[in-house]
Structure formats: structure tokens, C-alpha cells
């Protein structure tokens, strides 16, 4: 029993001395503030609500999964970008040349600007997709939410994976 107790104590000390992130990203302690500008839609197909919904979803992701505080002025980390592609393509056909399944693909170009870590000031591209089987018009709101969540996670991971 005493041996088991010692193992628990050692394990507890070991876990306290180590820090592990379940998100797989690390954020430098020097970064305290964040500004995410509204993304501009420069794609050929423009869905009016997408830019605003995506920008807000991205803010929500960073604020809920980091200790960064959103500000309007000069921040330690600024993220801005463009929606460069919004495309709907059939990926599976059924009889009569009708699509049995479609894919919404969205591409984003974003820029990181850090006044504390100039070596990380870069432009990145991310792209993701959502497959759907119903008519786009009836699934549009759900698709926009899903693809915005996926792209927000991609940008969050890309932003902090190189720090």
C-alpha cells in the first residue's frame, strides 16, 4: 500500500511539472491581445452573409480556445484575410446526370501580423470542404456554419503551430 501511495505522489509531481495542450498548439506568453478583421470576399461566387458569419466564427474560436483578449486598436496579433474561393461541385452523379452528392469548398488567404514576433508575419492559405446531399438552397445556412467552423479550426491550428 505504501509503495502504491509513493507512485501516486510521484505521478502527481510529474504531472504538475509538465504542461500539455490538448489542442496541440502553444501560444507565447507575450501575446495578450488579438484583433481579427472582417474577411473580404474576393471569390467569384459571393454569398453575402458568409464573410460576416465566418469572421465572427473565427473570433469565437480564438477567444474560446486561447487566453487572448479581443481589442479594436493595435493588438499583439492581428489576423486579416480574404475569402478567395467559394465553390459548389457535384462529386457523385445518379441517373439523368443529376448530382447525388455535392461538395462546398471554401478557400481562405489570411495574414498574421505580430508586432512582438516579426518572424511570424506571414500569409497562409487554407481550404476545406463540406459534402451534402440536399439542395444547396435548403442547406445553405447549415453548410455555412459547418465550413466556417472547419476553416476557423484550420486557421487557429495554422496560426499557433509554428510558434
CATH code of the domain containing 116: 3.30.160.150
Q: What is the DSSP string of the chain?
A: -HHHHHHHHHHHHHHHH----TTS----TT--EEEEPPPEE-SSS--TTHHHHHHHHHHHHHHHSSS-EE-SSS-SEEEEEEEEEEEEEEEEEEGGGEEEEEEEEEEEEEEEEESS-GGG--EEEEEEEEEE-S-HHHHHHHHHHHHHHHHHHHHHHHHHHT-
pLDDT exceeds cutoff 80 at 13: no
Give domain status of residue 4, yes or no: no
Give domain status of residue 134, yes or no: yes
Give, in degrees to the nearest 5, the angle at Cα 27 between 23 and 29: 140
For position 35, what pLDDT does the model report? 97
For position 163, what pLDDT does the model report? 58
For position 160, what pLDDT does the model report? 85
The C-alpha atoms of residue 75 and residue 114 are separated, in whole angstroms, by 8
Task: For residue 130, name the pLDDT band (cuts at 50, 70, 90).
Answer: very high
Q: How many domains does the chain have?
A: 1
pLDDT in tens, 15-63: 443 333 444 567 888 999 999 999 999 999 989 899 999 999 999 999 9
Task: For residue 162, name the pLDDT band (cuts at 50, 70, 90).
Answer: low
For position 10, what pLDDT does the model report? 44
Give domain status of residue 6, yes or no: no
Give domain status of residue 109, yes or no: yes
For position 6, what pLDDT does the model report? 46
Give domain status of residue 124, yes or no: yes
pLDDT in tens, 56-109: 999 999 999 999 999 998 999 999 999 999 999 998 877 777 778 999 999 999
For 24, the grid coordinates are 496541440
Give domain status of residue 19, yes or no: no
For position 1, what pLDDT does the model report? 57
pLDDT in tens, 138-157: 999 999 999 999 999 999 99
Give domain status of residue 2, yes or no: no
The C-alpha atoms of residue 63 and residue 83 are separated, in whole angstroms, by 21
Query: Where in the sequence is the domain holding 40, given as residue range(s)?
Result: 28-161
Amino acid at each position: 500500500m505504501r509503495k502504491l501511495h509513493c507512485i501516486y505522489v510521484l505521478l502527481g509531481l510529474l504531472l504538475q511539472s509538465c504542461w500539455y495542450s490538448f489542442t496541440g498548439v502553444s501560444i507565447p506568453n507575450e501575446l495578450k491581445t488579438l484583433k481579427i478583421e472582417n474577411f473580404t470576399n474576393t471569390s467569384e461566387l459571393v454569398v453575402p452573409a458568409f464573410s460576416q458569419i465566418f469572421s465572427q466564427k473565427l473570433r469565437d474560436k480564438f477567444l474560446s480556445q486561447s487566453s487572448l483578449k479581443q481589442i479594436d486598436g493595435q493588438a499583439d496579433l492581428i489576423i486579416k484575410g480574404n475569402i478567395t474561393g467559394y465553390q459548389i461541385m457535384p462529386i457523385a452523379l445518379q441517373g439523368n446526370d443529376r448530382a447525388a452528392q455535392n461538395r462546398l469548398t471554401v478557400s481562405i488567404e489570411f495574414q498574421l501580423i505580430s508586432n512582438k514576433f516579426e518572424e511570424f508575419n506571414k500569409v497562409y492559405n487554407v481550404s476545406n470542404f463540406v459534402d451534402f446531399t440536399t439542395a444547396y438552397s435548403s442547406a445553405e445556412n447549415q453548410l455555412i456554419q459547418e465550413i466556417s467552423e472547419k476553416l476557423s479550426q484550420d486557421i487557429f491550428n495554422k496560426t499557433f503551430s509554428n510558434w
